[in-house]
Structure 1
């Protein structure tokens, strides 16, 4: 998960200032439609759902509502301090998960893949720990409309500048009120992102988008054959 450790320096801000605003306005306090996407992409189930890049554990209650038992891993000890009481979690690198092969029925990556410079390796690790028939729910910023190349100052008229196909890490951002100017982001163009699921040996099952009027979030459901 590489640069995710930079969240140590902003963990308190993320928990007390950013997250409440991020989950505040909009339908049901969920302007990016993350809860709907989680319900449709992860779905109901039972057993362990391993959240990769769980951060402060903010998604744990939603995962429980679907019947799963959430557990998490994250590289940032600062973020995990806030996760205490929300879910069991361990400090670990997502490219080397401390989890046995074929041991979990579900894996979740929620708004975290841009924090991982080597997401294809993370997906291979997710495939390794999934049981046959297990599901992976990926919910992340939309690669076509979010990134250092996208100016979202006007939500009704997002301006896309050159750079989408570059596939790079950057701290360039259209706002100083968000995360990316503070911790940076890894950008994976859509073909590279979807190809990484295939290369990990996963089967792509369904897709969805969230946020409006221009999608902010892309959701992918995949299974391990």
Structure 2
């Protein structure tokens, strides 16, 4: 996960400026709606992979679940520690027992994880039989180095969607990708990675406008 030093360097900016400008009830990408629809109410621990600053902990808690966070960036965890219990660890090698958690989520982090298929295999390993995993991330079809969002009403799609690559190309200098880079995988590759991890796909949703910016999946470890 080569972006970790970069996230350590931008942790304060991420907390205070990137997220700090959002009101508590703002949900422009539909992330909260996706959590309610796909994760849903429940009880017991919910492991968040790549929890960052813990920005989604309260939304998980509002569903009756107990959020627990894992991230490799000490800088991000410094902000997260006041929001949920956290540990510093690599998401491809989780310090969690096999079959021990009823739920896990990965929210807006898959592009930060070059080996996301290995992360998904770890998620499947730590889930209890019948446990639910929710992936929420930038939409592979409309977000990436190939997508120009300069005109907010008409996204321009250039060649490159079908490739798998790491890039810092960005249409704006106010976001994340130009600072830490992002891994792009086409939608079929992402779905295949979930299936190859042994998870069963159940439901999907999208969010954002004018074209979807967020794509989310609920999957389950077979009982």
Which TM-score tier does this pair reach, normalised by the shorter chain?
A: over 0.9
User: Quick check: 1:104 aligned with 2:82?
Assistant: no
1:133 is matched with 130
User: Quick check: 1:196 aligned with 2:193?
Assistant: yes
Unaligned runs of 5+ in 2: none
Return the TM-score normalized by structure 1.
Answer: 0.96
Unaligned runs of 5+ in 1: none
Within 5 Å, which residues of 2 pair with 1:130-209? 130-209=127-206
User: Quick check: 1:4 aligned with 2:1?
Assistant: no
Within 5 Å, which residues of 2 pair with 1:10-89? 10-21=10-21, 23-24=22-23, 28-89=25-86
The question of whether the paired residues in 2 share the 8 Å contact of 1:112 and 1:140 is answered with yes
Query: For the residues of structure 2 that align with 1:18 and 1:198, how far apart are their CA atoms?
Result: 33
Return the TM-score normalized by structure 2.
Answer: 0.97
Query: For the residues of structure 2 that align with 1:18 and 1:61, how far apart are their CA atoms?
Result: 18
The question of whether the paired residues in 2 share the 8 Å contact of 1:4 and 1:116 is answered with no
Query: For the residues of structure 1 that align with 2:150 and 2:43, how far apart are their CA atoms?
Result: 41
Q: In the TM superposition, what is the alpha-carbon distance from 1:139 to its structure 2 partner?
A: 0.4
Query: For the residues of structure 1 that align with 2:136 and 2:86, how far apart are their CA atoms?
Result: 20
The question of whether the paired residues in 2 share the 8 Å contact of 1:74 and 1:91 is answered with yes
Q: What SS does structure 2 have at the residue aligned with 1:20?
A: coil
Equivalent of 1:217 in 211, 214, 217: 214
Q: In the TM superposition, what is the alpha-carbon distance from 1:171 to its structure 2 partner?
A: 0.4
Q: What SS does structure 1 have at the residue aligned with 2:210?
A: coil
Q: In the TM superposition, what is the alpha-carbon distance from 1:30 to its structure 2 partner?
A: 1.3
Query: For the residues of structure 1 that align with 2:8 and 2:186, how far apart are their CA atoms?
Result: 27
Q: In the TM superposition, what is the alpha-carbon distance from 1:213 to its structure 2 partner?
A: 1.6
CA RMSD after TM alignment: 1.1
Q: What SS does structure 2 have at the residue aligned with 1:71?
A: strand
Q: In the TM superposition, what is the alpha-carbon distance from 1:6 to its structure 2 partner?
A: 1.8
